[in-house]
Every structure is written in structure tokens, then in C-alpha cells.
Structure 1
């Protein structure tokens, strides 16, 4: 699809395409199904978006749909949210974390090797967090030891989304322990079919198994799959995490805004549409959701204008997590006793499914995912407000 300078023309084009192609009744079809059917549906939807050029508008020019301005990308994501299209949860790491890391930090050989594979449907997962190194990535223990033209990997990763279906992994491992915690980390692209890798899905309290553990036992990774320089993986990891900002926050906020009707529908079903307390609380939630959308929109405009400052993304992420929590909490309260029971999960949706018990539990994910609320507050305090840095935490054995 060729670039359209006029964003309104682009909007109408995207809207028409989505009207014709968004899977009908996908929410009902993806409720209570097993992961295999969900994966098949995601692959089919991904293929359609790639062909239309709407999966990769953030990629450079020359790739399908690539080279679009941020303003054009924003239009595409706004329309996808408005159309209530399925989220590409299976391909989120592939399209953003993997692609943007390889584009920004990889070499030409890696771009030529891995980007076409993503467009063909290769699935990537992220191997950052560990059992004792979640938000504190600097304390990770997985080892990457250089032996000639390869690295030998030993260790464990956890909370890796859809790792059980992944073809490749973005791996952050420790190659040197002699310096500061952030030093000595090395970033590798790993073939998940390599001998020595085992994956174990995690059964969650929600009934889903979205996350998995990955175990590495003497796994060999070619040195040509090193991204950046050995020991400089911390900087590469920051580029990976930065890739999900901006448009993702705009899309998520808009999806929540478009799902406010779930709350009014729940009030009608429970016969409390005229209840003064619920009407007051609904008004408060609508205000918070609208504010989250306004913050995300303002942040993206700063990126478009080149005026983005450190901490701007943290403000949006922190407020989105708060608004989502209040949204799902109100839905649970409105639904009364029925809102205390979890029914089958809806795959391919965000945290606005109308399954209020599940939505409320899942809202806590956003207090952690993409950097915990505590980390976001530290960034805002230290790097925006220039307050004193948080004191170093004393650990047993420190002198």
C-alpha cells in the first residue's frame, strides 16, 4: 500500500479495510478456546494485516506499509482500536521488540536475516526477566560464556509471553560479573529450536497460560547473533523496551475508551442505571479514561514534534495503569456477585472484556509490565523533577 499524505484520506482507507476484514464475532469465537485455536487465528489475522501494510507502518520505508510518519501511524492505530480488532498479542514482540531492536541496534546481515522472517510469521519471545530479576534486570544471572565463534548459555527466564510458540528469543544474559550490575550484559538472538532449550508454560490463576519459563542448558548461540557489542546489552535492552512506547499506549488507551460501553451495559443488566453512586463512579472513571487518552495523545504529539522529554512515557504508562485498575474495579462492583466469578478467558483482547473478575486480576499486570509503577515513579521523580536519587538498597553481606 502506498503512503497517503492526507491523514484523513488514510483514515477512511483504513476504516474501510477494517470494516471488510475484522473477523466477525471474534470475541465470542476466542472465549474459552484453547491456545492452539487462538494461535491459528492470530496467524491468519497477522497475515491479513501484513498484506494490507497495517502491521508494520513503524518499520522503515521499503518494507510493506513502512516509512509512514508518526501522524500516519497514529491514524492506523486509532482506527484499529475504534474497530475493536483483535490485538496481535502473539506477534507483539516480533513486530516491536525484535524488529525495532534489529533495525536500530543490529547489523545489516541481521536485518536481512530476521526481518523477512517476521513478515512470514516467525514468532519471537523475550528472555529478560528471571525468578530473582524481574523489574531489576541488572541483577540477572543467566550466563553467556564466549567460546570461539559461539556463546554457551546456561540459566532460566520467566514470564516470557507465548514462549511456547516462539521460533526465536531476544535474550539478555551476563557475560561478565566483574563490574557494575548494568555492565557485563550481552544481548543475543537465539533460535528456540536449539538443543538445550526447554519451555514450560505457566498456568495462571486466571486459567490462561500466556506466560512461560525458558530453561537454557549449555545452549550454543553463534557469535554472529550478538546484537551490538559484548557487555553492552543493557543499552540494547533499553532500545528494546523503548520500542513499545508511544503508539502502543495510544492504542491501549483508546481501546479502553471505546470499551466504556461495557460499563453502561453492565449497569443496564444489573438494573442499576439510575443508581446515583454508580453514576457518580462511572463519571469519575470516564474522566480518568479520557485523561489517559489525552495524555497518550499529547505524548505522541511531542514525539512527532521532537519535543519528547525523559519521563514523558513514564507519566502516560503510570496513569494508564491507574485508569485501567479503576475501570475494571468499577465493572466488578457493578456486576455484583456475578462480577466475583471468573469465566473463560477471552484470547486476543486487552483487559476490557466484560469478564470483570478476570479483567480486574489482569489489570495488575500493567502495574508491572513494561516497567513497574515504582520504577516509573522513580524516573519521574529523579529525571523529570530532579529529586534526589533513591538510596541504594542494603543487601545482606554488604559492608
Structure 2
């Protein structure tokens, strides 16, 4: 396996062209050639083993957490992050599915609100492969997250937590959980919530996978029955968890999009174009239809705009100039563009596309199994704040529009 200097060192000595050439060489030597075949129909054990090995391979190269601060193993410039994700997508690299919450959501939360002890405990562990899950949504608290009812009662130096979480991605594999629970039932709903770091090996936790329409069980329910969490695992002030959660949701709606935008453009859209260029049994090509060519042109323009939005958002994070609605704009744009693209790809794929009923477990939402990709794209317009919620945030926080009156 070919190694490569950590990107922070390389960025200091190489120009952008040299960096791209180095990443390209690394991808040729390290991206598993047959990973799609091996991960299609893989068992859970095989999936987890593959994800851990792929994370370790990226980590050794310095490519696992390029967005982290330099002192924690990141420090890659925005320009180099764009190049990195472009090359990974161009070489059809697998996604870090299991590590996604850990390296993005957990890291952003810890760096923004964690104590020095919490940061020192968890960031090195995440860099070593620790898996995290997000325990936010509940059966009656999805888009209205502040309506959550999971309770956390203080008992000396511990909190005792009881309740249920749902739509927890990858909970069956997780070592730790980012958990929101209500610590003051009498306070206004956004003021009585606390944020905890929960060890998933704690007694009283039951995880139940949810079988999806695609046949996968990516989402889970988490049941908490008198689970004890040390008070030292409280992140941010007691009853101040809502403000801390905004950092987590900001990472979900913002910085994570840079990679996803490049995958949509370099992997998903390119695959769609190749399919449109492929002759059918009668010799015709979808792209010869002016309506198809026009739709492709529109999608190409929209993806270019998405890439520009994502790059701008990352640059704003680096200079601490992110607007209150910027992340919501990117999340809304990406999620609905992804859905439109996969819908069109399913239409182009026709009847044969409906016979592809399996996709690689370590892939994204642009795998080429168009029907499953389209179904999966709904993960983005509903969880993490539905499109309607994002539009409300943009209207109120971004544009300064008034909240609608109760009479309207």
C-alpha cells in the first residue's frame, strides 16, 4: 500500500497541481478496484470490516479529516479539500459511511463546545476509528426537534436517562452517541434541553434496526431505560443543549456538503451522462433527444452552482463569517438537486433500472442503481430538518422575514 505525506505537510511544499497529482497517484494505488462488487450484498460484518480498513487507509494518508484544525490532524486548505474530494469521486472511491457522524458532527460539536478533557478523550479516538451516532429525533420530535421528550434526571454526579430515539443512522455499530435529552420539563422547550456524550455500551440501551424501502437497515431506534450518564459527559451548560445542537446541525447542513457535492458531480452526474450516451438496442441514444440534452445541461449548471455554494460555505467557516442561514441554503439546494437528479436518472434508466435492487453498502446516493438512489435521496429532504424547515430558517434568519402570526 503506497503512503503519502500528510496533507498539511504537502500543502506547505506543493502547489495545487502537484497536490492533485499526488492525490491522483494515491487513489490509483489505494482505492479498492472491486469494492462495488464486494460491497454489494455484503454481510454486516464484511461491511464494518471494509469501512474500518478504508478509514485507516485514508487516515494514514492524512485524508480522513482534512477539515479538522491542523493541531488535530487536519488543516487542509479549502482549495486542497476540493481537489481531494474531486479526485476521490473521480476514482470512484467508497464513502466513509460509518465514520461520517464522528468526523463531521461529533468533531464539530466537540471543537465548538467540548471541554479540553472531552476533546482530548474523543478526537484522537475518532481519528483512530471510533464510530458515533446522532441521538436527536424522536417519534414525535422530528422536524420539531425541540418537542423531544427523552428525560434526563440528575442523580448526584450522574444523569439518569429514559426515552426513545429514532432515525439514528448506524446506531447498531456505534461506540458513542450525541444525545439530546430534556433536563428541565418545566422550562420553555428550547431552554430545558441538555446535550450529552453517551457511551453506547452503557447498561439499559437497546438498538433496533429499521428495515427501509431499499431493503437496507441504515436507520435505527434507540431505547433508553434508566441509562446512567456521568455529569462529566455533559457537553455545554446544563439546560443549554439546544444552542450546542445548532453546531451539530450546522455541520450536517454545511461542511459535509463539500464532499457530497463533488460526488454528485464527479460520480453521479458523469455516470448519468455516460448512460445517456449509450446506444439502445435500436441504435438511438437518450442524449439525441433535445429534451434529455436540455435536462442534462440544466443539471450541469445546477451542480456547478452547488459546488460554488459549498466552497463558499467552507471558506466562510474558515474565516468565521458564516451567515445564520448559509448552511440551510446549501442543505436545501443539495438535497433537492440530488432528488431531481436521481429522479431524472430513474426516468432515463427506464424499465431496466427497476430491476437493479441492490447497491454497494459503502456507496453514496449516486451509485447508478437509480431507483434505489432515488428512494435514498429522500433521506436528505426529510431528516436533519425537512425542506420546509430549511425554507423557514432561510426566511426568518437569512432574510429577516417576520414569523407568521397565529391568526394567519
Structure-2 separation of matches of 1:303 and 1:60: 12
In structure 1, runs of 5+ residues without a counterpart are 395-399
Question: How far does the alpha carbon of each residue in 1:243-278 deviate from its partner, in whole angstroms, 9 at most, with x for none?
Answer: 234442122111111122322333325443323332
Alignment of 1:94-109 (within 5 A): 94-109=102-117
Structure 1 segment 150-229 matched on structure 2, within 5 A: 150-229=158-237
Aligned residue in 1 for 2:270: 261
User: Contact conserved, 2:104 with 2:256, CA < 8 A, in 1?
Assistant: no
For 1:123-138, list aligned pairs within 5 A.
Answer: 123-138=131-146
Report if the CA contact (8 A) 2:255-2:313 is conserved: no
Cα shift at 1:289? 2.1
Q: Which residue of 1 aligns with 2:3?
A: none
1:57 aligns with 2:66: yes
| Residue pairs, 1:1-399, within 5 angstroms | 1=6, 2-3=8-9, 4-5=11-12, 6-8=14-16, 9-64=18-73, 66-258=74-266, 259-267=268-276, 268=278, 270=280, 271-273=284-286, 274-304=288-318, 306-391=320-405
SS in 2 for 1:155: strand
Deviates more, 1:220-229 or 1:110-119: 110-119
- Alpha-carbon separation, structure 2, partners of 1:183 and 1:206: 38
Q: What TM-score does the superposition give when structure 1 sets the normalisation length?
A: 0.92
Aligned residues of 1:144 and 1:154 also touching (Cα < 8 A): yes
Question: Matched residues in 2 for 1:328 and 1:217: separation?
Answer: 40
Cα distance between partner residues in 2 of 1:161 and 1:42: 15
Distance 1:140 1:388 in 2: 25
2:99 counterpart SS class: helix
Greater Cα shift, 316-325 or 88-97: 316-325
After TM superposition, the runs of 4+ consecutive aligned structure 1 residues lying more than 6 A away are none
TM-score (norm 2): 0.90
Name the Cα RMSD after superposition. 2.0
From the superposition, tell whether residues 392 and 57 of structure 1 become closer, same or farther in structure 2 (CA, over 3 Å): farther
Distance in 2 of aligned mates of 1:245 and 1:228: 21
Q: Quote the residue 1:397 is aligned against.
A: none
Aligned residues: 393
